[in-house]
Structure 1
Amino acid sequence: MKAVIIGGGIAGMTMALLLRKQNWEVIVNERAESMLNQGHAFLMSADGLSILEQFQNEQNCCLQKQNVNLFSLKRPDGDEEIRIKLDGWHCMKRVELISYLYSFFSNETLKMGRKFSHFLYEDKVATAAVFENGEIEKGDIFIGADGSNSKVREALFGKVNFTPVEVNEIVGISKKRAIDDPEKVIFQKFQSKTKGLAFGYIPASEDESVWFMQYDLKLANGQEGASAASLKKFCYDMLAEFPDAVREVLDANDFSTSYIWKTRDFDTLPTFHKENVVLMGDAAHLAVPFTSAGTTNALLDAKTLTNALTTTATIEEAFSRFYQERYADLTNHLEQGRLLKTIFLEPEIHSERGYILPLVSDKDSTDTSNKPLKITYFTDPICSTCWVIQPVLRKLKLEYGAYINLEYLMGGLLPSWDNYERGTIKNPLDVAQHWEEVSKEHLNPISGDIWIEDPLESSYPPSIAFKAAQLQSNDKAISFLRRLQEMIFIEKKNISKWTEIEKAALTSELDSALLFKDIKAKGLGLFHEDLDYAKEMNVTAFPTILFSVDNEIKTSISGMQPYEKFESIIKKFLPNATKTTIDFTPEALFERFNSMTESEYSFIMDTSLEVTTAALQDLFEKGIIKKFKNKNGTVWSYILPQNREKSSVW
């Protein structure tokens, strides 16, 4: 089977390499006479990168990339609106990626100087591509990967209706040193709150950043000019009110290599193919660049199309499946880009909570359907019993999640140490001793040393932070609470300090800038609502758990309780409830919960500690999990596939 690919950019060459791995004959045809160095750099997700890295063993060449692990959106006055952690994202210079892909081809497999003209047909099926230089390439299928102005698309479906250009981007590469801290490689964006104007820069290496200026065309009035000097003046004038960091990037830029990109898109096509000709990449779908997903989408096209071609019986079935599998994501990116453009052009009517974050899919997977049993869980980030009951709650969600909604409320365990007296606890040293006792009793790696080395004055700051996190996402808030607990019980971190709270927030994919603002306002209000309700319910011990059916509280329990107690309550009020069998591989369980102690894994999987230890050690040696040890035990955490080349010692 022979595939003729029209377009020798990233999409076309990647498609060719994937088909070659399946033993297809492939010819790539590029209209340029030689490989162009146009374009500067772009962001690449872990999904896209995993596709490119398949080819590294075939040639002695290296794929150059720079990890980017934080995204920050600030106003020109320095006020930070958004700060989130990025997992698996990298910045790549286009010329380096093109050179990398180009190295896999010879003059016989990549034909330069072939500008597409038309197809030759027999019985409505394309048999050959004809190029303007008179050359002809015969094939069995033809793949149009010739970009947004695709001539192949026009030959199949006629001209598309592009949306009007409302936003332009000026793009360049600056020689300003880009990275000071490898743990904080930031995609920094400054965006006006009063008009459609933004400036962003992304480290492409230690010594270079790709930068862009996005602007509402109505602000320009044709002042950009064509020369490097006029372009430079235009950028400095437009960004006069932006901070010094922006001008430092521009000062180190060569404007003779910068260019203007007129952003536009078109509606999703009703199909990507006609007979044996199919479109992919920007030829098939085009979105405005606000989502930073264009290159990744082209690579995912190549992967999906290759899989369809090699696993279906006919070309028609393969092309139809390719469209069906890509339609939803591509349409979502198209709509997301349009919404981001609207927000960009109308910043005064959109708050920070109205932003769709580029790069990150902000999904809350919590099932909010009307389940018959509501469990209200009063807890506190520094409550040791609330920590050791985690295996029970996790197993409950796995086995009876179809029937229960679990609501987390804060109880305010430690307002301050002033006149504090709860049982035998009167000061931080009492807590240290108590935690050591709990650790031995429940075989849980709790260390009480934090109360000797850096005692918390109150549990209110992390409690308020949790309520603020719930405003962003209930799922992420629960992950955030879990991370706070690990930090204080296992790692001896003072989680009442903002620096530690922010670390936990970023790890849990929360927007830490928004969290910081909500802690002082909405989060504080929600926390006091929880305290008022706890007082109304006479909650004095933690955890306290209320069970409600049809909004009526039926019963409650307090303190550490066996799993069978929870089951008996569920059976009492839901006699027809049947538990789901836990059918997880060890790796899948870590994907589900991210981190576990030995006792937690053993309890959930119902295995002995000996079997548990062997399973965890096996995952550790495979680089799937990492571990953190303290004097009383170990917590094990899942390593995302894109991060597994790093050390597994935490």
Structure 2
Amino acid sequence: MFAISRHALIQLLSANISPENISYNATVIPSETEKGKLRHADGTAIDVDILIVSDGSKSRIRKCLFKDEKIIQVRENEVVNIIKNKDIASSVENDFMKFHHDQGGLTFGILKLSHDTILWYSQFDNEKYLINECSSDNLKTYMLEVFADWDPLVSSIIQQSSYENVHLWCVYELEELNPFYKDNIVFIGDAAHPLIPFTSQGVTSALKDSHTLTKYLVEEPNFTEAFRKYEADRKPEIETHINNGRLLLNQFLLPIDQQTDRILPISYK
């Protein structure tokens, strides 16, 4: 497998964009007085023809436009972290590795990012494995306790990691998908269609959304028609990933001996 970090991906995507056209750490919200407009937190309007929104699974902009949507927390959380350790990284091939608890509801995954860096994560049933406080110290204590007697590779990663930037990721999905656009605002990635991590299709789907939307915006002089074709193109695949994700979640919660044989740990179409 091939892995790329979020930081490297952002650098790659922004390499050919003029720095003055990128703003970081800026908050924008829908205008209360002008349909299809956004404004900065200080009230300054953003004057553009179309708005492409990608603000995550709990999108504030999507919620403002689709006030009746229902977003639900999934029965799975993740602890995500990175370890820099040449010795451990050199012992890991460029394969995706995932360890499962034999009673279900708990996994540990390993992805090698470079010669000295590993991304690791734990998926756990949040009804069975409770985390009451998510400070870095508490998460470290939790991981050390839960994975104390696992495979030596897992234990060494847990013990030698720095927990300064560890993150507890709560997973959400929409009860029903909203339209992917409204007026001159169009959504891509998790803002359009939150996918649970078991699909392993979150970033890939966002990139495919971007490519498909760009294609239709170039081909169609009318952006509404471009948005319509984009949604018609992407929605069927997304619905397949959502259904597959729910099946994979159900498998994850079961003991190993009750799980389906030969199931692929990824959604595909």
Both proteins in one fold, TM over 0.5: yes
Distance 1:189 1:296, change over 3 A: same
> Could you say if the C-alpha distance between residues 221 and 112 of structure 1 is closer, same or farther in structure 2, counting changes exceeding 3 Å?
closer
Asked if residue 164 in structure 1 is aligned to residue 73 in structure 2, the reply is yes
Larger CA Rg, structure 1 vs 2 = 1
C-alpha change, 1:161 and 1:354, in structure 2 (3 Å) is farther
Q: Structure 2 CA distance, aligned partners of 1:227 and 1:95? A: 23
Residue 11 of structure 2: aligned partner: 99
Corresponding position of 2:185:
277
**1:302 is matched with which residue?**
210
Instruction: State whether structure 2 residue 209 is matched by structure 1 residue 209.
Output: no
Q: Deviations over 1:391-412 (max 9, x none)?
A: xxxxxxxxxxxxxxxxxxxxxx
Residues 39-50 of structure 1 correspond to what in structure 2 (within 5 A)? none
Q: CA deviation at 1:355?
A: 2.5
Q: 1:230 aligns with which of 138, 144, 153?
A: 138
Kept in 2, the 8 Å contact 1:120–1:130? The answer is no
Contact 1:191 1:197 in 2 (8 A): yes
Contact 2:69 2:178 in 1 (8 A): no
**How do residues 174-323 of structure 1 correspond to structure 2 at under 5 angstroms?**
174-176=83-85, 177-180=88-91, 184-223=93-132, 225-323=133-231
Cα distance in 1 for partners of 2:52, 2:33 equals 15
**Percent of paired sites with the same residue:** 30
Distance 1:270 1:175 in 2: 40
Q: Which residue of 2 aligns with 1:25?
A: none
Contact 1:116 1:151 in 2 (8 A): no
| Separation of aligned partners in 1, 2:66 and 2:32 | 16
Question: Which secondary structure does the structure 2 equivalent of 1:265 belong to?
Answer: strand
Deviations 1:427-448 (A, max 9, x none): xxxxxxxxxxxxxxxxxxxxxx
Measure the CA separation in 2 of the matches of 1:107 and 1:134. Answer: 23
Contiguous gaps of at least 5 residues in structure 2:
none
Q: Secondary structure at the match of 1:213?
A: strand
Aligned to 2:247: 339
C-alpha distance in 2 between matches for 1:136 and 1:258: 36
TM-score by length of 1: 0.39
* 2:195 aligned partner, one-letter code: A
Counterpart Cα distance in 1 of 2:208 and 2:63: 23
State whether residues 178 and 209 of structure 1, in contact with CA within 8 Å, keep that contact through their aligned partners in structure 2: yes
Instruction: Name structure 1 gaps, 5 residues minimum.
Output: 1-67, 69-89, 364-650
Corresponding residue to 1:133 among 42, 45, 65? 42
Q: Say if 1:343 and 1:355, in contact at 8 Å, map to a contact too.
A: no
Distance 2:256 2:100 in 1: 12
1:98: Cα distance to partner? 2.0
CA distance in 2, matches of 1:269, 1:226: 30
Change (3 A) 1:144 1:159: farther
Matched residues in 1 for 2:175 and 2:223: separation? Answer: 25
Q: How does 1:569-580 map to 2 (within 5 A)?
A: none
* Contact 2:55/2:191 (8 A) holds in 1: yes
Please give the residue correspondences for 1:9-158 in structure 2 after superposition, counting only pairs within 5 Å: 68=1, 90-119=2-31, 126=36, 128-158=37-67
Deviation, 1:117, is: 2.3
Aligned equivalents of 1:352 and 1:106: distance in 2? 50
CA contact (8 A) 1:179 1:203 kept: no
Contact 1:268–1:331, Cα closer than 8 Å, also in 2: no
| Contact 1:167-1:217 at 8 Å conserved across structures | yes
Deviations 1:485-508 (A, max 9, x none): xxxxxxxxxxxxxxxxxxxxxxxx
Partner amino acid, structure 2, of 1:137 = I
Matches within 5 A, 1:606-617: none
Q: 1:174 to 1:330 in 2, by over 3 A?
A: same
Give the conservation status (yes or no) of the 8 Å contact 2:70–2:176. Answer: no
In 1: Cα distance, 2:195 partner to 2:70 partner: 13
Instruction: Give the residue type in structure 1 aligned to 2:12.
Output: Y
How many angstroms does 1:304 deviate by? Answer: 0.4
> For the Cα contact (< 8 Å) 1:114–1:133, is it kept in 2?
no
Q: Note the 1:412-423 alignment, pairs <5 A.
A: none
Shift of 1:209: 0.8
Determine if contact 2:58/2:172 at 8 Å carries over to the other structure. Answer: no
> Contact (CA 8 Å) 1:179, 1:206: kept in 2 or not?
yes
Corresponding residue pairs, total: 267
Q: What is the alpha-carbon root mean square deviation over aligned residues?
A: 2.3
2:59 is matched by which residue type in structure 1?
Answer: S
Contact 2:55 2:190 survives alignment (8 Å): yes
Shift of 1:108: 3.0
Indicate conservation of the 8 Å contact 1:173/1:211, yes or no.
yes
* Alpha-carbon distance in structure 2 between the residues aligned to 1:238 and 1:162: 30
- Deviation (angstroms), 1:112: 3.4
Q: 1:6 maps to what in 2?
A: none
Q: Relative to structure 1, is the Cα distance of residues 231 and 353 closer, same or farther in structure 2, using a 3 angstrom cutoff?
A: same
- Match of 2:265, SS state, is coil
Displacement after TM superposition at 1:175 (Å): 2.3
CA distance in 2, matches of 1:306, 1:245: 43
Question: Which amino acid counterpart does residue 335 of structure 1 have in structure 2?
Answer: N
Partner Cα separation in structure 2 for residue 143 and residue 119 of structure 1: 15
Deviation at 1:332, TM superposition (A): 1.0
- Code of the residue aligned with 1:196 in structure 2: it is G
- Aligned in 2, Cα 1:113/1:357: closer, same or farther, shift over 3 Å? closer
User: Partners in 2 of 1:322 and 1:267 — Cα distance?
Assistant: 22
C-alpha displacement of 1:195 = 2.8
Give distance in 2, aligned partners of 1:246 and 1:175.
Answer: 14
C-alpha displacement of 1:352: 4.7
